Amino acid sequence: MNALPLQFLMLIFAGWVNRHQQDVIEYLQEENRALREQLGGKRLRFTDQQRRRLAVKAKKVGRNGLSRIETLVTPDTLLRWHRQLIARKYDGSKKRSPGRPRTAAEIGELVLRMARDNPRWGYTRIRGALYNLGHEIGRNTIKRILLENGFDPARRRGMSWETFLKAHWGAIAATDFFSVEVITRSGLIRFFVLFVIDLKTRRVEIAGILPYPNGEWMKQIARNLTDCEEGFLNGSCHLIHDRDPLFTMSFREILKSSGVETVKLPARSPNLNAYAERFVRSIKSECLAQVIPLGERHLRHAVKEYTEHYHVERNHQGLDNQLIEEPPGVVEMNSAVVRHERLGGVLNYYERRAA
């Protein structure tokens, strides 16, 4: 059996990290308690460099996050250090000490920008990139700038999860279920909606709607998704899904036979399927929470209307607030603006009237 590609080993590793994250936090909390007991109430003394590093990290966690962690110092102190760090950065009241002038502010910003954009770049690599832009500064100066702003050395900075996903967009899709309670002649029945989303384009395919999905139905869904002419997964190499038992071995084998490898996410890790989770939140809050589905036909109509609205009429913050599908033709800016509605006004969009 061929080894999984590197990116999917990374996905599995990220899930392992997610499972162990709480255990690590609890261990560090207990370690901090033991340290405070050893100190016997004595006050800890931090150097300025230690305060800077802690302040930068504390700002990212936020007050609510800090309050859940038994830190060595209080959340108020950590956030105060961060405010002092910002104030000191823009404090020009003190006279500069004699000797070599400090690096210009714009060069310092460039150093920080390069470190943020390129986590694996070391001090020498950043120095070379600055030289290409006409700035010649020393390696130790770059080191000082990064340390003063709470940046770890390059060997301790890694690729972010967001950067990793973007590097593989266009070949990864995700799937998930969500449920809707529908009023029928037989009473209230829960229907399950299965959808697939392409992570790069955010396009969504409603794969099926059924009150009692089973393995045979899932096998047919797999065939539909990989149809050689109209299959939504044509061009995709991998499909992310959770541990729902409906994603059966037969379902996965049909996908694999068409060149689509499935990736089962770790338990209790919705953040690893964030794009699918976000679509569920959108369709429920913007559409299904505003209507009462009166039968299966009404539910299918509401889901179809929202999906069309989602693709061609709704702007997406994750796509720089653009539409998934731009309207054809040139917009005449002098024409009147008209409002169109779907589902009786639950969904609205605006366009200029055609000339």
d(C-alpha 148, C-alpha 85), whole Å: 9
Helix (H, G, I), strand (E, B) or coil at 241: strand
pLDDT value at residue 2: 47
pLDDT value at residue 305: 97
- What is the mean pLDDT of each successive set of 10 residues along the chain, which is 355 residues long? 54 60 65 69 70 68 65 66 66 57 74 80 83 85 82 60 65 94 93 95 96 96 94 92 94 95 84 90 94 95 96 90 82 81 91 70
pLDDT value at residue 133: 82
Q: What is the mean pLDDT of the chain?
A: 80
CB 292 within 8 Å of CB 257: no
pLDDT value at residue 5: 60
Look up the pTM and report it. 0.57
Burial of residue 58 (number of CB atoms within 10 Å: 0-12, 13-18, 19+):
buried
pLDDT value at residue 3: 46
CB 295 within 8 Å of CB 184: yes
The tens digit of pLDDT for each residue in 71-82 reads 666 667 666 766
pLDDT value at residue 171: 85
Q: What would the two tokens of residue 228 be?
A: 């050689």
pLDDT value at residue 78: 60
pLDDT value at residue 253: 96
Selection from 164, 188, 210 nearest residue 303 by Cα: 210
pLDDT value at residue 300: 97
d(C-alpha 335, C-alpha 353), whole Å: 6
